[in-house]
Amino acid sequence: MDKFTARQLLNIESCTRCGQCTDMCCAYNASNDLSVSPAKKMELLRKKVRSGTLFGKLFGRRGFSDKDMDILVRAAYECTLCARCEVDCPVNIDLQKLWISLRSSLTDDSRGPEALTMLKERLDKSHNISFDTNEGRAEWISQVADIGENKYVKEKAQVIYFVGCVSSFSPRVFKIPRSIVQIFKTAKVDFGLLGDEEWCCGFPLLSSGFKQDFVEFAKHNIEKVNSTGAKYLVTACPSCFHMWKHIYHELPLGDIKANFEVLHTVQYIYKLAQEYRFRLKPINQKVTYHDPCDLGRNSGIYDEPRKLIRMIPGVIFIELEKNKIDTTCCGGGGNVEAVDKQLSENIAQIKAREIIKTGADIVVTSCQQCVRTILQALKKENSKIKTMDISELVLASISGAQAQLLKGGVLSV
């Protein structure tokens, strides 16, 4: 129980068992399996906590069985950590953090899935979630024109662009960092990359239950950005953003303190647009926006992406049925893909159908992981709706390249 805070143990006792969390859970709604629901997790967690107490040992009808443990392990890791369950909780329990602590306690008991243990080993070795070495972190930039010899890996810069593992190593989403670099170049931003000194933000470690290792990654990253003298740290990955903005400063980091402001790219690009650092040309399309969980519900960034989309002339903006705080996960969160690919795909299918219902031509989001999962899910639904990151849409508008955009993107992969 040392992985839980007293507040979390109080919350376990305070759960009213109303079941509102289950109604909203994307894993439950995609699987119709109560054993992966938040209510079941809470019930088993309560049982686990009680079975460890003296009262539980003396009077417990049944102890916490191996079968219970198996169900709890499955439920803990088949959770996207989207935090939708928190929204309707009448006791306002911080469930996402509770599920992370649960994973942490399971990891301590060596109960975590093998895939996540392997992920941890990979991170320890190469400091990124891919199978590649960290030297290849900035390879994606090679195809951007006029990048200079240093490829933007600078010792000093006003803005540090923290690319994140998925955008750095997954060719399917290389368009996103390339678009961002193009926008920054157009806006004449003094920006730099950390290159192979950029380590994973640590979210995969935290969400897999490796809290201590996570702290080491945070320390390294903060020190590296501090050494550049940057005024801003900008990232396009909502999970990286959430870690940098809201979690790092809670860690026991000693004297290490971030000396810069953390912004998501959507915030920074919106700021540039407000300063007229580039001109937006018309895109005559119907556009809808998917709020990534870590950027929207967990970080409160709802307005900037909507304002930025509406700044583009010709765009007709349509809201998804479940938007802002009520947004549902795309299926790409919580490392579920690594544990149960089918469940992840089923969650994405629900999202895809919601998008199709809007009648939009383009679905925009602010997350490389959401782009990836939604793109695949829409393909499965035989939909012609284009999926893209907001930076791609902005770049298309800057370039006046609506036709190219609809063909498959302004930039080639």
Q: Using CB under 8 A as the criterion, which residues of the chain lie in contact with another protein when the complex forms? A: 1-2, 4-11, 13-20, 22-23, 34, 37, 39-40, 43, 49-50, 53-55, 61, 83, 86, 88, 90-94, 97, 101, 211, 215, 246, 250-252, 296-300, 302, 324-325
DSSP 246: I
Nearest residue (CB) to another protein, 61 versus 384: 61
Q: Is 64 left (phi over 0), alpha (psi -120 to 50) or beta?
A: beta
Q: How far is the CB of 247 from another protein (least distance, A)?
A: 9
**Contact indicator for 399, 410 with CB cutoff of 8 Å:** yes
Q: What would the DSSP string read from start to end of 53-98?
A: SHHHHHH-SS---HHHHHHHHHHHHS-----HHHHT-TT---HHHH
Nearest residue (CB) to another protein, 7 versus 172: 7
- What dihedral angle (degrees, nearest 10) is formed by the CA atoms of 350, 351, 353, 359? 170
Q: How far is the CB of 308 from another protein (least distance, A)?
A: 18
Residue 350 contacts by C-beta under 8 Å, 6 or more apart in sequence? 26, 29, 30, 328
Buried b (16+ CB within 10 A) or exposed e, 280-319: beebebebbbbbbbbbbbbbebbebbbebbeebeebeebe
d(CA 127, CA 196): 9
Nearest residue (CB) to another protein, 16 versus 133: 16
Q: How far is the CB of 410 from another protein (least distance, A)?
A: 31
Chain centre distance of CA 384: 25
Q: How far is the CB of 215 from another protein (least distance, A)?
A: 7
Q: How far is the CB of 317 from another protein (least distance, A)?
A: 20
**Contact indicator for 393, 401 with CB cutoff of 8 Å:** no
Nearest residue (CB) to another protein, 120 versus 246: 246
Nearest residue (CB) to another protein, 240 versus 251: 251
Q: What would the DSSP string read from start to end of 99-150?
A: HHHHHHHHHHTT-S-HHHHHHHHHHHHHSSSSSS-GGGGGGGGGGSSS-TTT
Nearest residue (CB) to another protein, 97 versus 137: 97
Nearest residue (CB) to another protein, 68 versus 88: 88
Q: How far is the CB of 304 from another protein (least distance, A)?
A: 13
Q: How far is the CB of 23 from another protein (least distance, A)?
A: 7
Nearest residue (CB) to another protein, 43 versus 340: 43
Q: How far is the CB of 82 from another protein (least distance, A)?
A: 12
> Quick one: which of 331, 353, 240 has its CA closest to 25?
331
